[in-house]
Amino acid sequence: MNKSGVSAAVLSFFKDPDASSVLSLAGNQVIAPTVRGQDLTDEELSMGGGVRLVMHIFDRSPSMKPAMKLMLDGFGGDYVAAIKEARGDDISALRLAGLSFSSDITPIWQKGGKLFHTLEQLPPLTKAEYNPENGMGTALHQAIIEGYALALPYAAEIHKDTGIQPEIDVIVLTDGMNNENPLRPDPVSTLIKGSKKDLVRWIFFFFETEPGACKSSDPDVNPEMIAKRLGFDSENTMLFGKKPGETDEEHRKRFRRMLRVMSRVSASKGTSAVQAAAAVNATPAESLL
């Protein structure tokens, strides 16, 4: 433990040895009592494939209402099966968690006092956890910071208990229009760029809830520009845009394809979102736009 009260295991996820430029972003969260997850089994530990923690950050602000049914149906039923199918020969131990945000930021899928779950025991996403109809603002920036801060102490605890250095994936699902403090993207960009690429992967999935956003030249609306300002790599920025004249069923089918993309990102070590899109037999544009 250094003078700031942050353990060496937490600091190991940052490029800066004392992470002085970014630790203040998460405040006391990175030194708070550890978020727990389902214990690693002896079989998982003996496989030698490492440990990966996947934190999903769901935007439930009012503007996400058009995507609510897609999210509930997909993450309530299809997602876990898709991850199992995508895992292939990957033998890393996998633990998944989530939070949702509007003006407030709320961890979800909490079960038995634990936030991170195995695939087999991951609860479904329900309207109790995800309901944009009750949302207010869009605390996107703070949610990204807090989602990472929730994963860090748990990863550090695993490292201390097992000697295994976990990896962390942070998957953000949003329509990208932050309007809560911090208003500027700089704190998030500092956090993302300050983390070690070999241990932390940041993924940005954008829902086009306003027609034309994906092609807009306005940097406050265009998702690729939003993602870039936040520090996300273009390889891990994917867009789910609207198509003129598309039926509801066609829209659902494309979202199921998006879930397959996301499942490969979650299931496959080192796979980028662009690579995952190619793996489901479609180009990124065909997959999501």
Local confidence band at 230 (pLDDT 50, 70, 90 cut-offs): very high
Neighbours of 193 (CB within 10 A): 16
Q: What is the pLDDT of residue 254?
A: 85
Which whole number is the average pLDDT over 228-239? 93
- Residue 2 pLDDT > 70: no
- Residue 220 pLDDT > 90: no
235: Cβ contacts below 8 Å, ≥ 6 apart: 272, 273, 274, 275
- Residue 33 pLDDT > 60: no
Here the tokens at position 194 are: 């300050």
Here the tokens at position 188 are: 């998030």
Helix axes 79-87, 248-267, angle to 10 degrees: 50
**Which amino acid, residue 254?**
R
pTM, two decimals, is 0.91
More confident residue, 99 or 113: 99
Rounded CA-CA distance 81/78 in Å is 6
- Residue 289 pLDDT > 70: no
Q: What is the CATH number of domain 8-288?
A: 3.40.50.410
More confident residue, 275 or 104: 104
Which whole number is the average pLDDT over 154-179? 91
Question: In the chain, what are the domain boundaries?
Answer: 8-288
- Residue 124 pLDDT > 50: yes
> Considering the chain, what percentage of its residues have pLDDT values greater than 70?
91
Rounded CA-CA distance 154/167 in Å is 11
- Residue 32 pLDDT > 70: no
186: Cβ contacts below 8 Å, ≥ 6 apart: none
The values of phi and psi at residue 201, to 5°, are -120, 130
Neighbours of 233 (CB within 10 A): 18
- Residue 268 pLDDT > 50: yes
- Residue 31 pLDDT > 70: no
Closest CA to 14 of 192, 143, 196: 196
- Residue 27 pLDDT > 60: no
List alpha helices for the chain, DSSP H: 8-11, 42-47, 68-73, 79-87, 140-162, 186-194, 223-230, 248-267, 273-279, 284-288
Strand order of the sheet with strand 93-101?
Answer: 105-108, 93-101, 51-59, 167-174, 200-207, 237-240
Q: Is the distance from CB of 189 to CB of 9 less than 8 angstroms?
A: no
Which whole number is the average pLDDT over 157-164? 90
Quote the mean pLDDT of the chain.
86
Burial of residue 219 (CB within 10 Å: 0-12, 13-18, 19+) is exposed
Q: Is 26 helix (H, G, I), strand (E, B) or coil?
A: helix
> Considering the chain, what percentage of its residues have pLDDT values greater than 90?
44
More confident residue, 31 or 287: 31
Which whole number is the average pLDDT over 223-241? 92
- Residue 155 pLDDT > 70: yes
- Residue 115 pLDDT > 70: yes
Q: Is the distance from CB of 32 to CB of 153 less than 8 angstroms?
A: yes
Q: What is the pLDDT of residue 224?
A: 93
- Residue 271 pLDDT > 80: yes
Local confidence band at 20 (pLDDT 50, 70, 90 cut-offs): confident
